[in-house]
Amino acid sequence: MAEDKAWALISEVGGDGYVAEVVDIMKQHFHIICLEDFLRNPALHGPKIQVLFMWNYCPAAEPSLLKSLPSLKVVANGGVGVDHLDVPLINSFGVKVANTPGVVSDATADIAMALLLASARKVVEGHMVSVDPKTTHIPQSLMGVEVTGSTLGIVGMGDIGYKIAQRSKGFNMRILYHNRNRRSVEEEQAVGATYCKNMDDLLKESDFVVLVVNLTPETTGLVGRRELSIMKPTATLVNVSRGLVVDQDALVEALQSGTIRAAALDVTHPEPLPRDHPLLRLPNALILPHVGTNTFTTTKKMVERMVENAVAAVKGLHVPNEVKLY
């Protein structure tokens, strides 16, 4: 029965790749070969590989690799965003693209709230004071800002954005949102959210602005100097979408000048930032290394969904989460 399994290409086990426990999920359905082993003899391995499992943007679905995989049926991406994939190019090879929507929403919403709370209450700064052997008193600089009862503006009210709204309701926050399409009245009422057709209105009124949009040509640079300038000087920008959604040079200026109070980011461009990037030296910038989905539970769910998509593609069945850009 094992001989009937199709072959799949993955990045690596450990390191920047998969935790060992989830690779077993793949092995239930596929023979697995790591990129390093594949590159030793692509002529031998290339013709038999039908699935490319992509994790943390690797293996990159570049033309040179696609040309060496004549039997490839699907690029199964771990995560929702596909801005790193040239979907039309991949499709031109007769290969489908699939992602993992839904399963990442809870973990990403959790990290958005973690960033918001940590920035507002200066959690990291407080930890550094607590563990500093020179600490003899609690400095007034640890005074934070109130989250309960504040105004939250959510830009992008998809599944993740809506889950952030659900969590924010527990803090009695006033919730504004901007989205291409307005949610139903029932959905708005369930979380107490108010729709802002104009994003500027949301930016002007919010104490915390959370960005939860997909990266597209329309959302690239969505928040720049103008947008930052109309935010409250006491406001915090939280980004859990993609780094390129924000003009980082403008953000540095806004944080240095006090145009806004703070930024809390799970994403930057590039990732990681160059070690001499000015954002890394700003005390009012809290930065995580794109760990929004990094829980074992969510990772397992993502891999299970990747495998589900891949199995369907290999069998010639409907791919549940096929990405179609039309």
Q: How far apart are CA 237 and CA 82, in angstroms?
A: 24
Residue-level pLDDT at 3 = 58
- Residue 60 C-beta-side C-alpha neighbours within 13 Å: 5
Contact 306, 32 (CB under 8 A): no
Residue-level pLDDT at 1 = 43
Is residue 186 among the annotated active site residues? no
Q: How far apart are CA 149 and CA 316, in angstroms?
A: 52
Least Cα distance to 294 among 104, 73, 77 occurs for 104
Is residue 269 among the annotated active site residues? no
Q: How many residues does the chain have?
A: 326
Is residue 205 among the annotated active site residues? no
Tell me the whole-structure pTM to 2 decimals.
0.93
Q: Which residues pair with 75 in a beta bridge?
A: 52, 97
- For domain 7-101+295-315, the CATH class is alpha beta
Tell me which architecture the domain covering 104-287 has in CATH. Answer: 3-Layer(aba) Sandwich (3.40)
User: Could you say which residues of the chain have pLDDT below 70?
Assistant: 1-3
**Ranges of each domain in the chain:** 7-101+295-315, 104-287
Pairing type for strands 236-239 and 262-265 reads parallel
> Token digits for 305?
């969904």
CB atoms within 10 A of CB 286: 22
Least Cα distance to 13 among 25, 5, 3, 21 occurs for 21
Contact 279, 252 (CB under 8 A): yes
Q: How far apart are CA 212 and CA 157, in angstroms?
A: 7
Fold: same for 7-101+295-315 and 104-287: yes
| Each residue's pLDDT tens digit, 67-97 | 999 999 999 999 999 999 999 999 999 999 9
Query: Which member of 125, 271, 308, 322 is catalytic?
Result: 271
Query: Which member of 178, 242, 261, 305 is catalytic?
Result: 242
> Token digits for 151?
């105004």
Residue-level pLDDT at 34 = 97
Query: Which member of 178, 183, 261, 290 is catalytic?
Result: 290
CB atoms within 10 A of CB 55: 21
